[in-house]
Amino acid sequence: MDAAHAELLRLQASSAIAAAAAAERSARASAAARAAAAEVERTASALESRGLVFGPARFGGEEHKPRLDREDGRLRLRLVLLYPQSGQTDLVEEICEDDSLTEHLDAMFGPDAPPLPWDEAGEYTRERLEVYWQRELVPPYTPPQMRGWLAAGTPASSVFAPPPAEMVSEAAAAEAVRRAKEGAEAGWVQLGRFRESEPLGKALAEAAREGHVLPGGTVVLFVCASGSEHRADFLRTGLK
């Protein structure tokens, strides 16, 4: 065998090895995409069956996707409590859909809770807390858009198209707020003690039927103290 023929055989073998390696990588990527797509579909179906509505984060805020526990099948969400009077926030990184808001508020504002450094007047006692959400802060995702949102950053992104970029613009969010302002019941909606004591998932599903969209996958609630001067000012502002 001459040197040229030997080199040709070497190149052919090398090419075959490279092709086989590329095929294996492609197969692994396809398998990963299928597995991730199945997980996206599983999560999306669970969210839809619960009646929850999601949309993009407001004004380019942080996204936090809901998590469906593979062991118990329960949904975990991120909860943010905003206190407009002080500009303070409380973050619950993951709250189970079976938990009630009452459980968390009792722990945070009950008689054994430490005093709040920003509540010098002592207005934020458990008995005086009022919890509100805002109607349609952002445009809701359609089912395909929600799947694209859930798939973003995972191998399933090759299967599901992402939501249109214009949905997450400030203009889109401002338009959602404008539409909400024109609604007959637009503005702040009080959660109420009854809903506070319900499982969070059930309370959110009821709120979704009234136009509540979860921006960026986060449960955003506003907390005021009843009877305070700021509460009246807060409710007069409506949607911003």
Kindly list the domain boundaries of the chain, sorted by start residue. Answer: 50-237
- Confirm or reject CATH 3.10.20.90 for domain 50-237, answering yes or no: yes
Dihedral in degrees, nearest 10, Cα atoms 147, 150, 153, 156:
-40
Whole-prediction pTM value? 0.77
Determine the average pLDDT of the residues in 65-69: 92
CB atoms within 10 A of CB 142: 11
Q: How many CA atoms lie within 13 A of 171 on its CB side?
A: 2
Do 167 and 57 touch, CB atoms closer than 8 A? no
Q: 162: pLDDT confidence band, cut at 50, 70 and 90?
A: confident
Residue 158 pLDDT: 87
The reported pLDDT for the residue numbered 7 is 65
pLDDT mean over 104-131: 89
Look over the chain and give the mean of its residue pLDDT values, rounded to a whole number.
81
The closest of 128, 127, 98 to 203, measured between CA atoms, is 98
Residue 170 tokens read as 């400030």
Contacts 24+ apart (CB under 8 A), 67-70: 67/43, 67/94, 68/42, 68/43
105 within 8 A of 129, measured Cβ to Cβ: yes
Contacts of 154 (CB under 8 A, 6+ apart): 36, 39, 40
CA–CA dist 95, 79 (Å, integer): 7
Instruction: Kindly state the average pLDDT of the residues 153-158.
Output: 89
pLDDT one-digit tens code per residue, 182-218: 543 446 778 776 678 899 999 999 888 887 889 889 9
